[in-house]
């Protein structure tokens, strides 16, 4: 009886996550049309991708994901490297990459088919210590200038949702910090872990209470590849359910990034 109960429990746990459907010629042709998986890699988000300073090799959660995907497809992986997520998204229609980890954003869905969410990250604001703004909800006010990295997932969200404040789009977070330190902006919008890592660079700054959004990342493939998109949906569901994402986050020592549950 005990063995039967253990077997039943194992079957129940297995059924909590769906394995990807069988690999077909159409899936392989759409995910690796050149006989290899071209993975769009973004160096602008160190929560997912880091470059080894000694060897130049890429590591991190994104690298783990791409290598696992390549292994399942039975093809080599080629990293196609970009400086920012916006550059990755902009290249979706140029046939430069086959799959990428990006923030899931409706503005990008015109050209990119996304998997279900894999991860969660808080996005919030930093303001000057003498600012009257104390909560994230306070920042969208008349006369408030918000520095934000252009084409980041959270910038696309703020572009849709900010009503009273003014967005000042910068070429990445370092440019936003420089603008903020010079009092050219009243707040910086960014991922919370990035802001925490930048504390030493920020002058007389503090983080507001709460967040303005939860950023979800997923695997994306260019539109027009229906077999690849459907297979990636099940692939991500399988990885999340099996704990692959959570283990990769822990193994890479990433703080502030959580696997969805």
User: What local confidence, expressed as pLDDT, does residue 7 receive?
Assistant: 34
| For the chain, domain boundaries | 2-119+216-259, 121-213
State the pLDDT at residue 117.
97
Q: What is the pTM of this model?
A: 0.83
The third-level CATH classification (topology) of the domain covering 2-119+216-259 is D-Maltodextrin-Binding Protein; domain 2 (3.40.190)
pLDDT value at residue 20 = 59
Nearest C-alpha neighbor of 40 from the set 107, 1, 91, 109: 91
What's the pLDDT at 10? 35
Domain 121-213 belongs to what architecture? 3-Layer(aba) Sandwich (3.40)
What's the CA gap between 77 and 178, in Å, rounded? Answer: 37
Token couple for 166: 């003014």
Say whether 121-213 and 2-119+216-259 share the same fold: yes
CA triple 213-222-79, angle to 5 deg: 90
Which parts of the chain sit beneath pLDDT 70?
1-21
Q: Give the pLDDT score at 42.
A: 94
Confidence (pLDDT) at 245: 97
- The token pair that represents 225 in the structure block: 């590849």
Rounded to whole angstroms, how far apart are CA atoms 91 and 222?
9
Question: What is residue 19's predicted lDDT score, i.e. its pLDDT?
Answer: 59
DSSP assignment of the chain: -HHHHHHHHHHHHHTTSPPPPPP-HHHHHHH-TTSSEEEEEETT-TTT-EE-TTT--EESHHHHHHHHHHHHHTS-EEEEEESSHHHHHHGGGTT--SEEEEE--TTTTTTEEE-S--EEEEEEEEEETT-S--BGGGSS-TT-EEEEETT-HHHHHHHHH--SSEEEEESSHHHHHHHHHTTS-SEEEEEHHHHHHTGGGSSSEEEPBS-SEEEEEEEEEETT-HHHHHHHHHHHHHHHHHTHHHHHHHHTT-SS-EE--
């Amino acid at each position: 009886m005990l063995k039967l109960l253990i077997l039943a429990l194992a079957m129940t746990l297995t059924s909590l996550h769906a394995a990807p459907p069988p690999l077909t010629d159409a899936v392989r042709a759409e995910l690796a049309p050149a006989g290899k998986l071209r993975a769009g890699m973004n160096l602008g988000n160190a929560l997912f991708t880091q470059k080894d300073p000694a060897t130049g090799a890429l590591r991190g959660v994104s690298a783990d994901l791409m290598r696992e995907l390549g292994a399942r497809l039975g093809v080599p992986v080629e990293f196609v490297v970009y400086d920012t997520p916006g550059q990755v998204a902009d290249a979706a229609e140029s046939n430069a990459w086959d799959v990428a980890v990006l923030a899931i954003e409706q503005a990008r869905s015109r050209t990119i088919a996304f998997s279900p969410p894999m991860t969660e990250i808080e996005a919030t604001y930093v303001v000057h210590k003498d600012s009257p703004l104390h909560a994230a909800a306070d920042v969208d006010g008349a006369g408030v200038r918000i520095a934000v990295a252009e084409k980041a997932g959270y910038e696309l969200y703020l572009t849709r949702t900010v009503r009273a404040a003014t967005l000042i789009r910068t070429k990445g977070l370092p440019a936003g910090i420089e603008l903020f330190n010079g009092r050219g902006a009243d707040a910086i919008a960014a991922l919370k872990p990035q802001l925490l890592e930048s504390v030493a660079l920020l002058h007389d700054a503090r983080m507001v209470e709460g967040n303005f959004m939860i950023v979800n990342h997923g695997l994306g493939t260019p539109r027009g590849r229906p077999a690849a998109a459907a297979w990636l949906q099940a692939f991500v569901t399988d990885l999340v359910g099996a704990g692959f994402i959570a283990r990769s986050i822990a193994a890479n020592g990433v703080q502030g990034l959580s696997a969805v549950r």
